[in-house]
Amino acid sequence: MRLAVNIDHIATIREARKSDEPDPVAAAAICELAGAQGITVHLRGDRRHIQDRDAEILARTVSTHLNVEMAASPEMVRVAQTVKPHQVTLVPERRDELTTEGGLDVLLHSSNIDKTIRQLLDAGIDVSIFVDPDLEQLRQCQKLRVPKVEINTGKFAEAFARRVSWSAELEKVTTAAKAARKMGLGVLAGHGLNYRNIDSIAALTDIEELNIGHSIVARAALVGLERAVREMVSLMKRI
Ligand code: PXP
């Protein structure tokens, strides 16, 4: 199972002062040297953390795999066509949300998502969709012929933190990952994963890659980025 590190919050620290440090480009290089097999950034409509300049430079400098999360909007498709990351993950986006709040509803927004997938694939960019662990959503992803899905582990992580019915949420993720793989989709997962809840998700053999951001950057603020990434990589390997 590969680890992709989401470095948005390195840029959050920079944007807190609208300065030029810390640079997410330097952070990406450190993550890769520490064993990350991918770098993820979320280019939000309000550019609250990652800026276009970051995505442009990262697309040229990341030596593993650059995944850019974005809304399925014409503006973002244009950016992706210019920046050409290895992969785009389509996510829902609300201006006043603190972080992505749930999976993209591919049933509700089917025709727009279909068009966006085709535009990105035509530009030579791999595409993934962030979805809730829901079989109907996954079947629709299969119908739309998207190559990959990222299963939302947010509900599992919330339940784990509260220690209530988290095994039921884990079961949903497990079932969804298995079903998605059977459908021939590439299976990624992420949201809310941390050093305490990683074990049960890292044990799921149907998942190829995890996207982890906040917990790694939070630990990095105290122990350093290289150590924070190495510790997560080793927890994922231990299973
Ligand atoms: N996957 C998606 C689609 C996300 O939007 C995010 C948050 O940017 C993550 C994974 C990473 O979540 P976290 O920061 O909670 O690890």
Each residue of 34-72: pLDDT tens digit? 999 999 999 999 999 999 999 999 999 999 999 999 999
What are the distances in angstroms from CA 102 to CA 65, 105, 110, 157, 190?
A: 24, 9, 16, 12, 11
Place of tokens 């290089």: 29
The pLDDT tens digits for 182-223 are: 999 999 999 999 999 999 999 999 999 999 999 999 999 999
How many CB atoms sit inside 10 A of residue 127's CB? 24
Contact 187, 177 (CB under 8 A): yes
Rounded to the nearest integer, the mean pLDDT of the chain is 96
DSSP letter (8 states) at residue 62: -
Average pLDDT score over residue span 153-174: 96
How far is it, in rounded angstroms, from Cα 125 to Cα 127?
A: 6
Active site residues: 42, 69, 191
Which residue range is the domain that position 111 belongs to?
2-238
Q: Which atom of ligand 1 is nearest to the CA of 212?
A: 16
Query: Does the CB atom of residue 116 touch ligand 1 within 6 A?
Result: no
Atom 15 in ligand 1: residue holding the nearest Cα? 192
- Ligand 1 center to 54 CA (angstroms): 18
Question: For residue 162, what pLDDT is reported?
Answer: 95
Q: Best substitution site from 5, 100, 173 to test ligand 1's pocket, by max atoms within 8 Å of Cβ? A: 100
Nearest CA among 188, 208, 85, 80 for reference residue 141: 188
Task: Enter the tokens of residue 100.
Answer: 């992505």
Taking residues 97-126, what's their average pLDDT? Answer: 93
* Residue 106 pLDDT class (50, 70, 90 cuts): very high
**Tally of structural domains, the chain:** 1
Residue 22 CA to its chain's centroid (Å): 21
* Closest listed residue to residue 219, CA positions, set 209, 207, 231, 228: 228
Q: How far does the centroid of ligand 1 lie from the alpha carbon of residue 182, in Å?
A: 24
Atom of ligand 1 nearest to the CA of 91: 3
Q: The domain that contains 9 carries what CATH number? A: 3.20.20.70
